[in-house]
Amino acid sequence: MSNAPAEEIPTADIDLEAANHVIDKYLTLPGNLMPVLQGIQDEYGYVPKPTIDLVAERLNVYPSQIYGVLTFYAQFHLKPRGRFIIRVCVGTACHVQGAPRIVETFFDKLGIGHAETTPDLRFTFEKVACLGACGMAPLAMVNDSTYGSMTVQKVGDIIADYSQRPMKK
Amino acid sequence: MVNLTIDDKQVTVPKDATIFDAAKAAGIRIPILCHDKKLHPFGGCRMCLVEVEQMKGRQIPACTTPVTEGMIVRTTTDEIIKARKMVLELLLLKHPIDCPVCDAAGDCDLQNLTYEYKVNANRFQDEKFQHKIDYENPLIERDMNRCIHCGKCARICDEIVSFGAYTFMNRGIEAKIGTEFDGPLNCEFCGSCVSVCPVGALVSRPFKFKARWWSLNKVKSVCSYCGTGCQLTLGVKDNKVLTTIYDENQGFHNGQLCTRGRFGYQFVNSDKRLSTPLIRKNGTLQPASWDEALTLVSAKLVEAKNAGGKSVAGLVTPRLTNEELFLIKKLFKDGLGSDSIDHSAGYAHAALTAGAAESFGSAASPSVISDIQNADLLLVVKTDAYETHPVVGFEINLGVKRKEIDLRIISDKRGKLSKLPKAVTYVHKPGQEVALVNALAQVLLADNLQDSTATGVEGFEGLKQQLEAFAPEKIAAACGLDADTIKTLARDYAKAAKALIILPLGLGYPGHGKALAQALANLALLSGKVGKEGCGVLFLGEKNNSQGAADLGIYPTAGGADADAILAGCQSGSIKTLIVAGENPVVSYPDRKRVEAALDKVEFLVVQDLFLTETAAKAHVVLPACSFAEKSGTFTSVGRAVQQVNQAIKPVGEARSDFAILNGLLAGLTGNAPYADAAAVFAEIAATVPAYAGLTIAGLGDTGAILPVTVKPRFVAAETAAVTAESGKFALVTGSALYHCGTMSRFGEGPMHVCPEGYVELGRDDAQALNVKDGDTVAVKSASGELRLKAKVGTRMPQGVVFAPYHFDEASVNSIAVGAPVTWVSISK
């Protein structure tokens, strides 16, 4: 489970305008909790606590229930995620093609472990079981871009490339 | 009806029954951990597996499977026993076997079933959970290591309490019951979750390590806080009330209680209880013997009686039993010759004693509590019905959620009831209740929606004339609601086949008096919604025996003085002796300055109370009285239910029950023999009060009796009091804080944890404009005084309206509110 325990959740001031906007969009839709939470995660990259209270108030759902939903689904994140999500496949095909060394190199170069985020909120690193493109093993993804036939050298290039890109979407 | 066979027994049950219900009806016990009769079936624990022949002998859960015609069910085959044993083995895999230090031991379903199914070894092995135990609050301890995931706590909190503190969080083996952000429990602390927990995962902290379950003596009684009349079972040991015990078969509420009932019993054995009589000597109250105190009181009463009895008056709390109320009324009437006795009726219960008495012909609600669930539409006046009578609130929650009852609330603020699904809250300007209800009645007449019976009721023409001034268009602006909204509400109310009006009463609600009761009665009578199931008006009397006090005439009936006049009499010197039995006027009556000045002038003030209250501190003689747990008798609650109160413990210290005190004084004054016991007094009540005719205390049994009521309808024009807004000031409305009731709840751990002190509640916009944050201390200033109160900022209050509860001595709100429905105040930091 990649969700943070309660004490690690930051409570920084969050601008709720985007969340309000998402709620407005789905307000009259029956069963709107999931699309609202997904929309909020799209906006903020994770689901910040103040937005949970806002959703609870506006959709008239208990905050506890929302928390139950958020912790049930692996797709939701309760602590900030990086601008760029690096996923490295450690499935069977990638494993035999040397995925463990790719993972180790990312750990070394980023200074973070599995399911962790760099302090500057630029990168989040995750090991995943299979990305479904075994022919390109070993495989890495950064957000929606795919990098096949990964090598240890390419790790440095990818990090250098994404370190240059703007933090704003 | 459906016929089926369970373990070779023929059973006939309604078609919506489950196999579990059918087995229960046939007297066959199916073991279960996740079931409570109040909750929806869950099917989580798998203990109730049974075999159904038509399903090829598959094992299916009895609690979620509906019955079908000709079904053949077996509940105890070898295979089933084996399956249940395995369920227990799996539960015990993670459940710590810490029964010797677990409070639930002896009352634990898991322990009992493990014993019953002889699960003495486990084929499986695993580590136990290492969840952190939540000790953060003083009432409910949550040890999730013991949890078996039956989900009852989460379900009761959602389905009945509608707070939703708990949820299943995470997935798979990591799943557990958690709160929002897995933080400490922060809720209303009603303890419903503790009551249904089948193991020791949720335990009551006030009871922790106090006694083993099997060593408790269990005594059935009735809660002595609000007027709802919840039955409860007290757990007693060594002359102490140690806990309340859940029994899902008790009362209309199926054992459901609020914080007061469940965690508020500590006042009974409180260290602050008075232990001996006190007599004022040289300006201070000093311990005295009962003989000395009673001799002094008797002498003063004889003196007063000889002077004609006009100089003696009484203020009596409606917390006393019917028998005690009867005795004190008799003491005043026959013993002293005074009619000046009141139970703050004019301040808190005029809706019953004047409103209902004039409109319906008797000082009682024409409706009963079961009408709530039978209604199609509920018209609740003020969301505060939840705060004043939480268990009535639970009934409303259930009705709205399960039966889709249309809930309409007219209120000066939003509240918990407003959040119920599809509930509509009509937020009007403070103090406009009567005008608004009159407007609703006017719409009925204008649209010709009145019932055919209405025209024949006395006063119809007069009402019609009076209501002309209340056309929605005329009052819309003053009410703060637009005319069309008012019309829609009136039409919906009139068109609902069964509609019930609910009006909470209390010392905090000066606006809920005679006029509002009459306006509501007119509305109900006009639409023909009185005297039918699910219809009428339900007055929620504030205290446990408010209805009894009205029935027994504890208000001036023969030209005597009411509480207001009694205080005036004290001030002017015409009343020289005042008996205060259980009331605490200094804190609870409007205009504290005036009350204090009046009490200071009384020549001889006798106070009978459990505690040295602010009022008792002014007395010349203080007599230590008994709580409900120390006496037997009856209470009459909301909806006219007479129920039996049973003595659970011997009087604490030297305390004597009000019954004993009054019985002695009465015998002394009249020269008659004292009554033998409460039953003898009840027999006299049955003989003299028509509604109680034919009842005996023993005949009430565990269930009690509903008193009959004959409605003699009459339309009485409900007068509105003008509310003049003062520009730049806030409208202060008073009332009850959640789970407090009168001033007694200050001695209960539960209510004091939920709400430890007075506060003033503001809306977010007002708070922002004043630059006030939640928890700041603000100065609230009215024409009669100034108070410093903690600010509570929330979403309940509309702009320009603030709320303050009345129960507290420090920051006592009656020092700024003098009994008007709205007090204009300025607020500054």
Cβ contacts below 8 Å, chain A against chain B, sum to: 52
Q: Tell me whether residues A63 and B163 touch, CB distance under 8 A.
A: no
**pLDDT score recorded for residue B377:** 96
Report which of residues B221 and B749 the model is more confident about.
Answer: B221
Which value, in Å, is the radius of gyration of the alpha carbons in chain A?
18
Neighbours of A130 (CB within 10 A): 14
Q: What is the pLDDT of residue B612?
A: 95
Q: How far apart are CA B579 and CA B673, in angstroms?
A: 22
Q: Which of A52, A62, A67 sits opposite B169 (nearest CB)?
A: A67
How far apart, in Å, are the Cα atoms of B464 and each of B457, B467, B470?
A: 12, 5, 10
A47: closest chain B residue by CA: B181
- Closest residue, chain A, to B794 (C-alpha): A57
- For residue B539, the SS3 value is strand
Mean pLDDT over the full length of chain A: 88
Q: Which domains does chain B have, with CATH numbers?
A: 2-76 (3.10.20.740), 278-343+554-706 (3.40.50.740), 348-547 (3.40.228.10), 730-828 (2.40.40.20)
Q: What angle do CA B211, B213, B217 make, to 5 degrees?
A: 85
CB contact at 8 A, B536 and B529: yes
Q: Which of B415, B421, B373 minimizes the C-alpha distance to B401?
A: B421
Alpha-carbon distance of B578 to B268, in angstroms, equals 26
* Among the partner residues B167, B170, B183, nearest to A6 by beta-carbon distance: B183
pLDDT of amino acid B753: 85
Asked if B170 lies within 8 A of A1 by C-beta distance, the reply is yes
Q: What is the 3-state secondary structure (H, E, C) of chain A?
A: CCCCCHHHCCCCCCCCHHHHHHHHHHCCCCCCHHHHHHHHHHHHCCCCHHHHHHHHHHHCCCHHHHHHHHHHCCCCCCCCCCCEEEEEECCHHHHHCCHHHHHHHHHHHHCCCCCEECCCCCEEEEEECCCCCHHHCCCEEECCEEECCCCHHHHHHHHHHHHHCCCCC
- Give the span between the Cα atoms of A78 and A73, in whole angstroms: 11
For the segment B255-276, the average pLDDT, to the nearest whole number, is 92
Classify each residue of B176-198 as buried b or exposed e, where b means 16 or more C-beta atoms within 10 Å of its C-beta.
Answer: bbbbbbbeebebbbbbbbbbbbb
Task: Choose, out of B167, B420, B424, the residue to mutate when testing the contact with A (most A CBs < 10 Å).
Answer: B167
Q: Are A73 and A47 in contact (CB under 8 A)?
A: no
Q: Could you say which of B158, B174, B419 has the minimum Cβ distance to residue A1?
A: B174
Q: Which chain B residues touch A49 with a CB distance below 8 Å?
A: 181
- Predicted confidence at residue B541, as pLDDT, reads 93
Please say whether the beta carbons of B652 and B638 come within 8 A: no
Residue B725: how many CB atoms within 10 A of its CB?
14
In angstroms, the CA B380 to CA B405 distance is: 12
Nearest to A64 among B171, B180, B419 (CB): B180
CB distance A57–B158 less than 8 Å?
no
Using the beta-carbon criterion (under 8 Å), do B166 and A64 form an inter-chain contact?
yes
- DSSP letter for B335, please: I
**Is there a contact between A57 and B164 (Cβ–Cβ < 8 Å)?**
no
d(CA B28, CA B20): 9
Q: How far is A72 from chain B (nearest CA, A)?
A: 5
Task: Average the pLDDT over B588-598 and give the result.
Answer: 92
Which of B485, B384, B480, B500 lies closest to B435 in space, CA to CA? B480
Identify residues of B whose CB sits under 8 angstroms from chain A CBs.
158, 163-171, 174, 178-183, 419, 421, 795
Query: How close, in Å, is residue A50 to chain B by CA atoms?
Result: 12
Q: Is A60 on the interface with B (CB under 8 A)?
A: yes
C-alpha distance from residue B493 to each of A8, A91, B475, B488 (Å): 51, 65, 19, 8
Report the helix count and the strand count for chain B, using DSSP H and E. 27, 33
H or E segment at B9? Answer: strand B9-13
Pair B447, B530: CB distance under 8 Å: no
Task: Residue B29: name the closest of B20, B37, B38 by CA.
Answer: B20
- List of chain B residues whose C-beta atoms are within 8 Å of the C-beta of residue A66: 180
Amino acid present at A86: I
CA distance A106 to A82: 15
CA-based nearest distance B393→chain A, Å: 18
Q: Does A12 touch chain B (CB under 8 A)?
A: no
Chain B residue with the nearest C-alpha to that of A61 = B164
Do the Cβ atoms of B167 and A62 come within 8 Å? yes
Backbone angles phi, psi at A10, to 5 degrees: -70, 145
Give the whole-angstrom CA distance, residue B359 versus residue A8.
62
Average pLDDT across chain B, whole number? 93
Dump the DSSP string for B151-176.
Answer: -HHHHHHHHTS-----EEES-GGG-E
Q: What DSSP state is assigned to residue B343?
A: S
pLDDT of residue A12: 56
Q: Which of residues 135-154 of A touch B (CB under 8 A)?
A: none
Contact predicate B139/A38, CB 8 Å = no
Cα separation, B234 vs A14, whole angstroms: 49
* C-alpha–C-alpha distance, residues B704 and B709, integer Å: 16
The whole-number pLDDT of residue A13 equals 74
Report d(CA B642, CA B657) in Å as an integer: 20
Question: Rounded to whole angstroms, how far apart are CA atoms B514 and B721?
Answer: 12
Identify the pLDDT of residue A3: 37
pLDDT 10s digits, A35-56: 999 999 989 889 999 999 999 9
* CB within 8 Å: A72 and B166: no
Helices B472-479 + B433-446 axis angle, to 10: 160
Mean pLDDT, rounded, for B232-245: 95
Output the DSSP codes for B698-751. Answer: HHHTTT-EEPP-----B--PPPPPP--PPTT-EEEEEEPPTT--TTGGGG-HHH
| Closest residue to A49, CB basis, from B163, B164, B181 | B181
SS3 of residue B64 by DSSP: coil
Give the residue ranges of DSSP H helices in B580-736.
585-588, 592-601, 658-670, 678-688, 697-700
- Is the distance from CB of A29 to CB of A22 less than 8 angstroms? no
Which residue of chain A comes nearest to B416, CA vs CA?
Answer: A60
Residue stretches of chain A with pLDDT short of 70: 1-12
- Scanning every residue of chain B, which has its alpha carbon at the shortest distance from the alpha carbon of A9? B181
The answer to whether the bond into A138 is cis (omega within 30° of 0) is yes
Which chain B positions have a beta carbon within 8 Å of A1's beta carbon?
170-171, 174
Predicted pLDDT at B723: 84
Closest CB from A6, A60, A64 relative to B167: A64
Select the residue of B164, B170, B419 nearest A64 (Cβ to Cβ): B164
A5 Cβ under 8 Å from any chain B Cβ? yes
- Inter-residue contact B670 to B689 (CB < 8 Å): no
Contacts of A5 in chain B (CB under 8 A): 182
Beta carbons of B178 and A64 less than 8 Å apart:
yes
